[in-house]
Amino acid sequence: MSQLNIARFFTYLICDNGYLSPKEIGNGNYACIMPLMFTHAIIKGRIGNLNSYEDRWCYSSLEKAQEALDAWDGVGEPEGWHRHPMTGRRREVTEEGLLEETINP
């Protein structure tokens, strides 16, 4: 896909969907921030796909989502999320400061 078409797609994400900070993350994929009612999420999808995204990670604030998006290169998962709806995983920091991951049945 040409850089012009990628720019048009990113403009669509921002103007028509209200997404924030779209960026290319390799292999024809993009990532950006999707505002939700009370939180924000990083979503990942195929550049040019106007119908859906492939994955989503939820964050408790825009600042945390933006920091994770800026640091993520598209390999593996972004850091710092608290909910992954596709798998039912949740991450919380315990009183001891450890990261605990649970999976909803």
Residue pLDDT, tens place only, 31-71: 999 999 999 999 999 999 999 999 999 999 999 999 999 99
The CA distance from 23 to 53, in Å, is 14
- pTM across the whole model: 0.92
Quick one: which of 23, 31, 20 has its CA closest to 76?
Answer: 31
Give every CB contact of residue 3 below 8 A, 6+ residues apart in sequence. Answer: none
What is the pLDDT, as a whole number, of residue 15?
97
- The angle subtended at Cα 35 by Cα 63 and Cα 45, nearest 5°, is 100
What is the total count of domains within the chain? 1
In terms of residue numbers, what domain contains 46? 3-103
C-alpha to C-alpha distance for 100 and 37, rounded to whole angstroms: 25
